[in-house]
Structures are given as C-alpha cells and as structure tokens.
A = this chain, B = another copy of it.
Amino acid sequence: MLSTEEILEAMSEQGLRITDQRKTLAKLFGENTGYLSAKDVYKHMERKYSGLSFDTVYRNLRVMEELGVLEQIVFEDGIKFKASCSQDHHHHHMICLQCQKTYPISFCPMNMTDTPDQFRVVKHKFEVFGYCRECEESGAEDKAARGEEAK
C-alpha cells in the first residue's frame, strides 16, 4: 500500500499543490489500511480544521482517486476509499466488516473459472468479508450487527 510520502510525492509530481489539508489526508490514508467513507474522512479532519467544509473533502478525495493514489469501492452503505495498493500484482481482498481493514488474498479465482465462449470477460470482483482477529476479540460483531453492512 502507498505510504504517506508516496501519496504526497505522486500528488506533487502531478502538479497538485501540497496544502496542509492534503498532508493530513495523505497521512490519514498512508497510515490506515481500512476503507473510509467521505464522512469518516470529514470527521477525522474537522478536529484539526475548524471551518472545514464537506465539499473540499469530496473534492480532494475525487482528485486523489482520479490521480490513482486512492482507490474506492462501493459498499452497501456507500463509497469508501483507501490508499492504492502498490500495484505489484493482481490480487483480491478480505475486508473486515467492523474496522474495514483489508488483507490481501493472492489467489485469483478467474484462472479456474470456466468462462463460456459466448461471454467475453472484461473484469471481475472477488471480495471476502468477515471479521479480523482484533475485531473478533473485542466482540466487534455485536457492534456491527446493527450496522448496514451485515444485511
């Protein structure tokens, strides 16, 4: 996964200005392996920036996603972001339903999937959801049970 520095470097290389807010964003994603919603990010940021507005958060998330330093996936309860995986090789993820952290799976089922000739495959999605050790131990499921994700 991209580090804080790599994120900032990539942004700077693309001609983006490194503002204080963007440094904080880079740090947030560089140190966090989980998925964060726009609201999560806003809540994290507003502590530091009193007059923070939602649109700036959205703008920066979008810019960073378009630049490729962030990747987003669509959950049942909305779009979430995390730092891009260093794109060494194709892989999939296990995603914790509680903390949203991701763990790589190197196995890719496409190799063994029997795709009929009538269908030209373009892309695929393989995601495993569950609870990671830490969340399991802290009784995470109880808290998650009322969440949307489990539905």
A133 CB contacts on chain B under 8 angstroms? 118-119
Tell me how far the C-beta of A128 lies from the nearest C-beta in chain B, rounded to whole angstroms: 5
Q: Is A107 an interface residue (CB 8 A)?
A: yes
Q: Is A87 an interface residue (CB 8 A)?
A: no
A122 and chain B: residue at smallest CB distance: B130
Taken together, the copies of this chain in the complex come to: 2
Tell me how far the C-beta of A102 lies from the nearest C-beta in chain B, rounded to whole angstroms: 11
Interface of A is mostly: strand
Tell me how far the C-beta of A135 lies from the nearest C-beta in chain B, rounded to whole angstroms: 9
A118 CB contacts on chain B under 8 angstroms? 132-133
Count how many chain A residues have C-beta atoms less than 8 Å from C-beta atoms of the other chain: 34
A2 to B64, CA, bound (A): 43
**In the complex with contacts A76-B74, A107-B112, A107-B113, A122-B126 CB distance below 8 A:** no
Q: Is A54 an interface residue (CB 8 A)?
A: no
A72 and chain B: residue at smallest CB distance: B76
Which 8 A-B residue pairs are closest in the complex by CB-CB distance?
Answer: A109-B109, A118-B133, A121-B130, A122-B130, A124-B128, A125-B127, A120-B131, A126-B126
What are 30 of the A-B contact pairs (CB < 8 Å)? A74-B75, A74-B76, A94-B119, A94-B121, A97-B122, A105-B113, A107-B109, A107-B112, A107-B113, A109-B109, A109-B112, A109-B113, A110-B128, A113-B128, A115-B128, A118-B132, A119-B130, A119-B131, A119-B132, A119-B133, A120-B131, A120-B136, A121-B130, A122-B130, A122-B131, A123-B128, A123-B130, A125-B125, A125-B128, A126-B126
